[in-house]
Amino acid sequence: MRSGSDSPVTGLVRTLGSTAKAVRTLTKRTEHRARRIAISRPLSTGGFLGASVTSWIATSPSMLPRTWWMWTLNFGASQTYGYAGGLLAERIVLRIMDAIGLRMEIEEDHRDRARGIGAAALVGISTYSWVRGVLRQREISHLVHEEPKNVATHVVGSLGGLAASVGVLATVRGVLATAQLYRALLRPYLPAGMVRLASLLLTAATVTVLAERLLRGRVLEHMIESGEAANRLISPDVPRPASPLRSGSPSSLESWESLGAPGRKIVSAGPTQEMIARTTGAEAKEPIRVYAGKSTSRTLEETVQTVLAELDRTRAWERGTLVLFTGTGTGWLQEWSLSAIEFLTGGDCATASLQYSVYTSGLSYVLDRRSPQRAGHQLFHAVRRRLDAMPEEERPALYVAGESLGSYGGNSAFRDVQDLLASVDGAVWTGTPSFTPLWREIASRSRPGAPAIAPIIEHGRHIRVVTRPQDLHRNYFGGLYRRWEHPRVVYAQHPSDPVVWWRPSLLWEEPDWLRERVGHDVTPAMRWFPWITFWQIAADMPLSVKVTGGHGHSYHAEMVPIWAGVLGQDSHGEGEALEQRHRHRAIVQAIREITPTT
């Protein structure tokens, strides 16, 4: 009797297995060959011309000097867009020509000459636009008081952009080859009308799975893990405060570890009572800084109650000024703004904030844009209710503030402009994103003829938009405001701040501020181009906080006169104004000494 291994059934199974393996191998080889052929086929003439044109445009200036990777993003995105647009235009033109029976050919003996002329023109225009772009970068560097980048930066960035666009093209062609392969495999088994649909669905599923693994499984998870690790980091250079008037101190209800890295820096920094008295030449108090970190063991509502408990513990309600800050995505607050308040009030103040996320502002906005709004709303209204329960003559003056995503979240505490003015004694919003609803309402109420970068609302009666310190008392064109009444609100925004001016509609719409071209630290050579300007300003955003103070997203020394104005510390007469300028300069110098990294 035969063993099982020699039975006909076993032989048939082996034959079928070998056949299936051969089919899989052949299919895989066919797939690889199809992709190689698809990826390596010659470039479209229309696509190449389109990519060349967008490359020339990509050298045009934006708001800030470009690093090599900013050049790479700008060139890569622009060339990809140009190639796709050129390819589409080429196909449309060819179809129109076929429809009307028009054909255009170059004689054989003229083709080489035409190619030579075309190549020379492309090289010449590309060289000219690139050199002009480099010179514009030097101009931008001078406008924002930065050291110009060397030529190698521009060369490496341009080559990186070219490599990026080639990589995108190869990826797209690979996807198209995959769709063609699916059609070839499905054609024997499905009706002709179903093949295209089925191949499209399979291709979409394949791309979705791969993108999910790459973006969410690697990039996004890496960013999340990095944010969480950075928040846990306890730096030996950030000492734990000993003062009981600081959260995280031995007397605090919040442990040092629970504050998170940004919170630990906030409560550890700032001027002392002695430094304030020495700088201002007057008696001073020790400032109060209250902060609560984000914790997975408590809700946002419980975190707000922790802030209130810290305000109770430090007796912050007895101070003359209370300022509520809404932080950026990581919980970071601008030290220039915090210290300016403390110096100007002689330390008779308390500042309070909480952490609603551990991720960067960009990632926080993508993952959960409601968190900053909820944080700003809940903290403000909890404090407002507590103040309303106090006798009016015993309440501290209440101010609100925030920068960047913190301004977006802080503005969300108010229904409209009237609600803001009725609820606070003043506000300072810096680098407010243009998609902030309350800011959009304010901009829509601007006086006709006022520049888009500095709207004029009710002749500056309560709200003033400041692009530089002199805008506090005169509008952008030098005209006088009306008398500044309380409560006072300032929106500080530099013309060169990409965080303020970036928005998705830049893809298809030219904004008013760019059409007007009136920014004092933005080159008038900047122009709007569909798609390209969107990516140029997006590339400007990550490093905008690192440029020289007074430009980009860096709000530094100007915070002293801004807060002085909002607090109502006006000067009267030339002698008093001169004394105030000397005082402000001394405060600015003192803040520089305690914030060396900014």
59 within 8 A of 132, measured Cβ to Cβ: yes
Q: Is residue 223 part of a domain?
A: yes
Q: What is the pLDDT of residues 134-155, one digit of tens each?
A: 999 999 999 999 999 999 999 9
Q: Picking from 214-223, 250-259, 333-342, which range would have the lowest pLDDT averaged per residue?
A: 214-223
Task: Please tell me the predicted confidence (pLDDT) of residue 14.
Answer: 58
CB-count exposure of residue 242 (10 Å: 0-12, 13-18, 19+): exposed
Task: Please tell me the predicted confidence (pLDDT) of residue 266.
Answer: 95
| Strands 349-354 vs 321-326: parallel, antiparallel or unpaired | parallel
Residue type, 340: A
% of the chain residues with pLDDT over 90: 59
Task: Please tell me the predicted confidence (pLDDT) of residue 22.
Answer: 47
Q: What is the pLDDT of residues 91-138, one digit of tens each?
A: 898 888 888 887 777 676 666 777 788 778 888 998 999 999 999 999
Q: What is the pLDDT of residues 497-549, one digit of tens each?
A: 999 999 999 999 999 999 988 889 999 999 999 999 999 999 999 889 999 99
* Same domain assignment for residues 225 and 255: no
Q: Is residue 288 part of a domain?
A: yes
Task: Please tell me the predicted confidence (pLDDT) of residue 33.
Answer: 54
Q: Count the neighbouring beta carbons within 10 Å of the beta carbon of residue 357.
A: 25
C-alpha 155/C-alpha 590 separation (Å) is 41
CA atoms within 13 A on the CB side of 513: 23
Task: Please tell me the predicted confidence (pLDDT) of residue 214.
Answer: 64
Helix (H) or strand (E) segment spanning residue 225? helix 221-232
* Same domain assignment for residues 204 and 249: no
Q: Which residues of 19-56 are buried (b: 16+ CB within 10 A; e: fewer)?
A: eeeeeeeeeeeebeebbeebeeeeebebbbbbbbbbbb
Give the three-class secondary structure for 467: coil
165 within 8 A of 51, measured Cβ to Cβ: yes
Whether 16 has a pLDDT exceeding 70, the answer reads no
Helices (H), 251-332: 260-268, 273-280, 300-313
Long-range contacts of 214-219 (CB under 8 A, 24+ apart): none
Q: Is residue 11 part of a domain?
A: no
Whether 60 has a pLDDT exceeding 60, the answer reads yes
* Same domain assignment for residues 129 and 246: no
C-alpha 433/C-alpha 408 separation (Å) is 7
Arithmetic mean of pLDDT, 353-365? 83
Q: Is residue 183 part of a domain?
A: yes
Opening angle at CA 30, ends 29 and 34, nearest 5: 120
Q: Picking from 283-297, 354-368, 405-419, which range would have the lowest pLDDT averaged per residue?
A: 354-368
Q: Picking from 30-34, 60-64, 120-124, 351-355, which range would have the lowest pLDDT averaged per residue?
A: 30-34
Structure pTM?
0.85
C-alpha 320/C-alpha 325 separation (Å) is 17
* Same domain assignment for residues 205 and 252: no
Residues constituting the chain: 598
* Same domain assignment for residues 332 and 390: yes
Give the three-class secondary structure for 308: helix
Opening angle at CA 225, ends 372 and 370, nearest 5: 15
Please tell me which of 67-71, 117-121, 382-386 the model is most confident about, judged by mean pLDDT: 382-386
* Same domain assignment for residues 260 and 223: no
Whether 44 has a pLDDT exceeding 90, the answer reads no
Task: Among 180, 209, 230, give the residue marking a domain's end.
Answer: 230
* Same domain assignment for residues 164 and 280: no
Q: What is the dihedral of CA 103, 108, 113, 114, to 10 degrees?
A: 10
312 within 8 A of 352, measured Cβ to Cβ: no
| Full domain range(s) for residue 282 | 241-508+550-592
Task: Please tell me the predicted confidence (pLDDT) of residue 446.
Answer: 92
Give the three-class secondary structure for 204: helix
Which residues on neighbouring strands pair with residue 397, listed in sequence order? 321
> Residues near 78 by Cβ (< 8 Å), separated by ≥ 6?
54, 55, 57, 58, 161, 531, 532, 535
208 pLDDT band, cuts 50/70/90, is confident
Task: Among 199, 230, 261, give the residue marking a domain's end.
Answer: 230
> Residues near 569 by Cβ (< 8 Å), separated by ≥ 6?
344, 580
C-alpha 157/C-alpha 139 separation (Å) is 18
- Mean pLDDT of the chain, nearest integer: 87
C-alpha 211/C-alpha 218 separation (Å) is 10
Task: Among 209, 230, 251, give the residue marking a domain's end.
Answer: 230
Q: Is residue 540 part of a domain?
A: no
* Same domain assignment for residues 291 and 151: no
Task: Please tell me the predicted confidence (pLDDT) of residue 20.
Answer: 45
* Same domain assignment for residues 257 and 387: yes
Q: Picking from 89-103, 260-274, 421-435, 437-451, which range would have the lowest pLDDT averaged per residue?
A: 89-103
C-alpha 453/C-alpha 500 separation (Å) is 9
